[in-house]
Amino acid sequence: MSNTSINQFPILTEQDFIVRAVNPEDASALTDYFCRNRRYLKPWEPTRDDAFFSQLGWQKRSIQLHELFRHNLAFYFVIEHAQLPGICGLVSYSNVTRFPMHACHLGYSLDPLVQKQGVMTRAIALTNAWMFEVQKMHRINACYMPRNRASGAILTRLGFYQEGFAKSYIEINGRWEDHVVTARLAPEYQLETD
């Protein structure tokens, strides 16, 4: 992993992809990503209005996400893969809380064209390390629907442990869905496992 930072916006690299902060110039590529994957992502995300899939909507949203990043309030990363032009995935850290919790919530999505290559596992590993080392997070929380076994497997591989089960937790695709609640602590606080 290498980390180059200009104005505190990291570029994290792997052999076949990079992970970098969202910037306003990404509006077109983000529009393309979400339009291209609209049907695929629908069962796993909140209901989206038409503006979410528009160029104008992403012009505004990418500026907001960039400003949140700049002010250390939330961190939205895009994944660019050598095999696929444009953006092929996203990793986000929202609900960032500083003293005394130093915690945030992880979210992610990936184009099916680059799945089953370990891309998301490696991208989250890179961004988690950045969140722990640079942002000094103590805890990263992540939730997934029980039927989303692939998401659960990624989190398990990355050292997230189950903390609970939340009934009717998040409204996804127009209905309230149960979620498995997981977390990962900063490496120096990792729990001993059997």
Span 30-52, pLDDT tens digits: 999 999 999 999 999 999 999 99
Residue 192 clears pLDDT 60, i.e. is over it? no
pTM value is 0.91
Average pLDDT over residues 13-19: 93
Strands 139-144 and 103-110: what pairing? Answer: parallel
**For residue 188, what pLDDT is reported?**
86
CB-based burial, 99-117: b 16+ in 10 Å, e otherwise: eeebbbbbebbbbeebeee
Contact assessment for residue 26 and residue 87, using Cβ atoms and an 8 Å cutoff: yes
Average pLDDT over residues 137-147: 97
- Range of weakest confidence among 17-21, 133-137, 188-192: 188-192
Q: How far apart are CA 86 and CA 162, in angstroms?
A: 34
Domains along the chain with CATH numbers: 3-137 (3.40.630.30)
Q: How far apart are CA 33 and CA 157, in angstroms?
A: 26
Q: How far apart are CA 164 and CA 174, in angstroms?
A: 23
Structure-token pair, residue 121: 């596992």
Peptide bond into 100 cis (omega under 30): yes
**pLDDT-based confidence at 83, cuts 50/70/90?**
confident
Q: Closest Cα partner for 77 from 116, 42, 37, 126?
A: 126
